[in-house]
């Protein structure tokens, strides 16, 4: 598992993500709006919209009224406020790690200037379109705890058993890191694979679309690792940023210290 993914898991489990609830609502509202704009307002025909709604409910218990308003705004039935657009920014952080930054914004200049200033001041820089985007491939992504790592025995099956079930369900890749299993799918197969795993008695902890790097930068120095993670935290706290994808892998011993 990449260091960035591992860091995400730690923050999630410890409740260390201090994003204010209002900011979280705003981000999920924008993601639902964008998903509806791209693929329509019917979740049966738009898997990305279903994923965005499910995540909004899981992360901040977004009320149905807010979800409906976001969908209507996305499909053009509501002119509530300024229209949002999705922009992927490409650049580098400390130690030349690649940063693929997903934003949803109603003010491109504000978002660009904010990210540029932040990276320039902290050992990184923004690049032009195409700088690092080619390094990343979109993929469906899920995690499951197994064996002793499964909360309440939710996934009592062994890692090998889960891997076989995931492959049978249509997963394109499966990786184990201790008691945590990572499952990758083709983007359009994410929801179907998740349903198949649930029908097989497994309970994924999360299911989302992500961007997987083709090449990994190994980080074995604690100071360098902290510098990278501090910058990631700053970028993720930007009100327009919804996800940051990177290509670093922090040594397990270093990650434990952090």
CA distance 86 to 99: 16
Q: Length of the chain in residues, anyone?
A: 258
Fold (CATH) for 136-213: Alpha-Beta Plaits (3.30.70)
Residue of 110, 66, 67 lying closest to 87 (CA atoms): 110
Residue carrying the six token digits 């981000």: 27
Question: Which residues is 219 bridged to in the sheet?
Answer: 250
Surface-to-core class of residue 188, CB atoms within 10 Å of its CB (0-12 exposed, 13-18 middle, 19+ buried): exposed
Q: Measured between alpha carbons, how far is 9 from 234 in angstroms, rounded to an integer?
A: 17
Q: SS3 for 241? A: strand
Confidence (pLDDT) at 47: 79
Residue 37 has pLDDT above 80, yes or no: yes
Q: How far apart are CA 240 and CA 244, in angstroms?
A: 11
Q: Quote the radius of gyration of the chain (alpha carbons, Å).
A: 19
CA distance 240 to 119: 15
Query: Is the Cβ–Cβ distance between 116 and 108 less than 8 Å?
Result: no
Burial class (CB in 10 A: 0-12, 13-18, 19+), 72: middle
| Architecture of domain 18-74 in this structure | Orthogonal Bundle (1.10)
pLDDT at 258 over 80: no
The CA distance from 239 to 24, in Å, is 9
Structure tokens at 112: 């660009």
pLDDT tens, residue by residue, 147-188: 654 444 456 778 888 889 999 999 999 988 778 889 999 988
Q: What is the CATH number of domain 85-135+214-257?
A: 3.30.70.980
Same fold, 85-135+214-257 and 136-213: yes
The answer to whether 111 and 105 are in contact (CB under 8 A) is yes
SS3 assignment, position 183: strand
What's the whole-number average pLDDT of the chain? 85
* C-alpha 24 chain-centroid distance: 14
pLDDT in tens, 176-223: 877 888 999 998 898 889 999 999 888 888 788 889 999 888 898 889
- Would you list the domain boundaries of the chain? 18-74, 85-135+214-257, 136-213
- Tell me the pLDDT band of 7, cut-offs 50, 70 and 90: low
Whether the per-residue pLDDT at 22 is higher than 50: the answer is: yes
Q: pTM of the predicted model, to two decimals?
A: 0.83
Specify whether the CB–CB gap between 71 and 41 falls below 8 A: yes
Grade residue 8 by pLDDT with cuts at 50, 70 and 90.
low
Strand 217-219, strand 248-250: pairing: parallel
pLDDT tens across 240-253, in order? 998 899 999 888 78
pLDDT at residue 15 is higher than 70:
no
């Amino acid at each position: 598992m990449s260091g960035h993914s591992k860091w995400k898991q730690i923050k999630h489990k410890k409740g260390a993500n201090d994003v204010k609830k209002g900011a979280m609502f705003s981000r999920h509202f924008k993601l639902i709006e964008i998903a509806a704009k791209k693929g329509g307002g019917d979740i049966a025909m738009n898997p990305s919209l279903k994923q965005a709604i499910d995540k909004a409910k899981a992360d901040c218990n977004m009320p149905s009224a807010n979800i409906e308003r976001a969908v209507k705004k996305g499909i053009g039935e509501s002119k509530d406020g300024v229209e949002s657009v999705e922009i992927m920014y490409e650049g580098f952080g400390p130690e030349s790690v690649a940063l693929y930054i997903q934003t949803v914004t109603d003010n491109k200049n504000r978002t660009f200037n904010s990210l540029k200033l932040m990276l320039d001041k902290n050992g990184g820089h923004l690049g032009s379109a195409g700088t690092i985007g080619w390094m990343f491939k979109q993929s469906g992504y899920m995690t499951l705890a197994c064996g002793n790592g499964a909360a309440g025995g939710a996934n009592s099956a062994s890692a090998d058993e889960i891997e076989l079930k995931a492959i049978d369900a249509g997963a394109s890749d499966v990786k184990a890191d201790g008691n945590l299993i990572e499952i990758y799918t083709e983007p359009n197969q994410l929801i179907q694979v998740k349903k198949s795993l649930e029908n097989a008695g497994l309970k994924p902890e999360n299911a989302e679309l992500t961007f997987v790097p083709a090449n990994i930068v190994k980080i074995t120095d604690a100071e360098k690792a902290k510098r990278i993670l501090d910058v990631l935290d700053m970028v993720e706290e930007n009100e327009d940023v919804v996800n940051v994808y990177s290509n670093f892998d922090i040594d397990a011993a270093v990650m434990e210290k952090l």
